[in-house]
């Protein structure tokens, strides 16, 4: 069919360097798009935040939490959000407390909590606090502290808890720990006025 003469005519109409340039341009375009995609979705996590990657994480957990590292967030199958590690300060109004011996005692008034950086605490925070406004988180923590304080004050008034300041603070911290850990939080400080 095609003799040597027909093949020579077909080749004469196509410019080989143009085809190579078009293919090289397309390959370069694909590589540049891939690099832009990687740069756009490669997220570095500063030390005062937690990067929460959710969607298809493959880890068998609701989200993947990263503290002090970086991850590539896969577009279309994953998304990300941030949790702040900044302390939340809570002030509880001073209330008079009288123990079983009719002696007035002081109750801590200032508290600081923050999201913990261990894996279970970060997971709890990602599940329960992600997307929750700061004021709502602060209110939840305040409610937990007030509830535990009320229970301890009842214990003091019935004489079940020692009334010296160190013992009371230790008992309060032990009572708050499991409640706060459910939210992914840790108690940083307890201060008296």
pLDDT in tens, 140-191: 999 999 999 888 877 766 666 666 677 778 888 999 999 999 999 999 998 8
The more confidently predicted of residues 144 and 13 is: 144
Cβ atoms of 116 and 185 closer than 8 Å:
yes
Alpha-carbon span 22 to 6, nearest angstrom: 25
Block residue for tokens 């990602």: 126
- 3 state DSSP class of 97: strand
- 3 state DSSP class of 135: helix
pLDDT of residue 56: 85
Q: Quick one: pLDDT band at residue 14, thresholds 50, 70, 90?
A: low
Report which listed range, 4-18, 39-53, 58-72, 95-109, is most confident.
39-53
Q: What is the pLDDT of residues 33-78, one digit of tens each?
A: 988 888 888 999 999 999 999 988 876 787 899 998 888 898 888 8
pTM of the entire structure?
Answer: 0.75
Run of H or E including 62: none
Alpha-carbon span 70 to 50, nearest angstrom: 10
Joined together, the tokens standing for residue 36 give 């832009």
pLDDT of residue 191: 86
Joined together, the tokens standing for residue 180 give 């706060």
Number of H helices and number of E strands within the chain?
A: 5, 10
Q: What is the pLDDT of residues 114-142, one digit of tens each?
A: 999 999 999 999 999 999 999 999 999 99
């Amino acid at each position: 069919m095609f003799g040597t003469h027909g093949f020579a005519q077909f080749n004469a109409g196509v410019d080989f360097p143009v085809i190579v340039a078009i293919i090289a341009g397309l390959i370069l375009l694909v590589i540049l798009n891939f690099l832009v995609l990687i740069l756009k979705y490669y997220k570095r996590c500063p030390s005062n935040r937690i990067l929460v990657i959710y969607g298809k994480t493959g880890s068998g957990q609701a989200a993947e939490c990263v503290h002090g590292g970086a991850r590539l967030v896969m577009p279309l199958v994953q998304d990300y959000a941030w949790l702040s590690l900044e302390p939340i300060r809570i002030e509880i109004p001073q209330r008079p407390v009288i123990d079983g011996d009719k002696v007035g005692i002081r109750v801590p008034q200032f508290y600081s909590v923050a999201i913990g950086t261990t894996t279970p605490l970060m997971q709890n925070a990602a599940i329960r606090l992600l997307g929750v406004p700061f004021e709502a988180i602060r209110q939840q923590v305040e409610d937990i502290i007030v509830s535990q304080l009320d229970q301890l004050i009842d214990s003091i008034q019935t004489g079940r808890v020692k009334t010296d300041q160190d013992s009371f603070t230790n008992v309060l911290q032990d009572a708050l720990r499991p409640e706060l850990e459910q939210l992914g939080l840790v108690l940083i400080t307890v201060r008296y006025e």
